[in-house]
Structure 1
Amino acid sequence: MTLTLDTARAIIRNVFAEGAARGCKPLSVVVLDGGGHVIAFERSDGGSPMRFAIAHGKAHGAVMMGIGSRALFQRAEAQPYFIQAMNTLTDGALVPVPGGVLVRSNDAIIGAVGVTGDTSDADEACAVAAITAAGFTPDPGGAPA
């Protein structure tokens, strides 16, 4: 199974709905396919211009490393030089903080969602809820701290 444009748009709508329900600050959301290519991106009114790069870095790092960005965050704490090297290899497109959540279907990674704009924990929670609502299994890469 692959993520379609319609599904990516639904995930984005679900992120915004979850963010509104939680009272989050303006969110930005990117949905990537399993190869790290952008399917869709939206930035809420009031979101800063750099939000695409942040959301993309969260999702891109997750899908390219095969682990959610929470796990990348934990790895960055334990092995900062490794994560710095990985960030160099991805031309800076690896943001190792929560909010980059893998999308799984039948245990296979089919993409990732990156959310930014509020706290990293809130960003991640919105991504998890949106992926679940779309009928997929979210994998944030570890339990929230």
Structure 2
Amino acid sequence: MSIKLDQARAIVSAALEKGREMGLKPLTVAVLDAGGHLVSFGREDGSSTLRPQIATAKAATALALGLSSRAVAAMAADRPAFVASLGAIAPQGIVPAAGGLLVIGPDDTVIGAVGVTGDLSDNDEACALAGIAAAGLATKE
């Protein structure tokens, strides 16, 4: 099973709305399916030019390692050479910073991932969580 377009759109919409509620800088949100393919994307006016790649890489990081990008950041503190080496083999990049979360389906399997960027990483993650919840889905660390 993979994330559906309507679910991905709901995640993007709710994540951006949460950012506006929090008064954050312009956000960019990418939702990937379980295979790492882009399903839905949103970029607010004023987002800087590299944000689409960062949002996609945060989501891809979660999918690649089966962990949130926050957990990968913690891993990088303990194993910096290992995490640094992943960039060369990860087609969408590796971003070890909060804001990339796995999306779990009703049968407890990974159906996709969301990446949010544009503000502080903790705020990015809060918006990703809001998007996932609004779509009636779950995440795991």
Cα pair 2:56 2:92 within 8 Å, conserved: no
Counterpart amino acid of 1:6? Answer: D
Aligned length: 140
Partner of 1:86: 86
| SS of alignment partner, residue 88 of structure 2 | helix
Q: What aligned pairs does 1:1-145 form with structure 2 within 5 A after superposition?
A: 1-91=1-91, 93-105=93-105, 106-139=107-140, 141=141
Cα pair 2:60 2:92 within 8 Å, conserved: no
Where in structure 2 are there 5+ consecutive unaligned residues? Answer: none
Structural RMSD (CA): 1.1
Give the deviation of 1:2 after TM superposition.
2.2
Where in structure 1 are there 5+ consecutive unaligned residues? Answer: none
Cα pair 1:35 1:64 within 8 Å, conserved: no
Distance 1:138 1:20 in 2: 22
Are residues 36 and 122 of structure 1, via their aligned partners in 2, closer, same or farther at CA, if it must alter by over 3 Å?
same
Give the deviation of 1:49 after TM superposition.
1.2
Give the deviation of 1:10 after TM superposition.
1.0
Counterpart amino acid of 1:120? Answer: S
| SS of alignment partner, residue 89 of structure 1 | coil
Runs of 4+ more than 2 Å apart:
none
| SS of alignment partner, residue 102 of structure 1 | strand
Identity of aligned residues (%): 46
Distance 1:111 1:57 in 2: 13
Give the deviation of 1:65 after TM superposition.
1.0
Cα pair 2:69 2:95 within 8 Å, conserved: yes
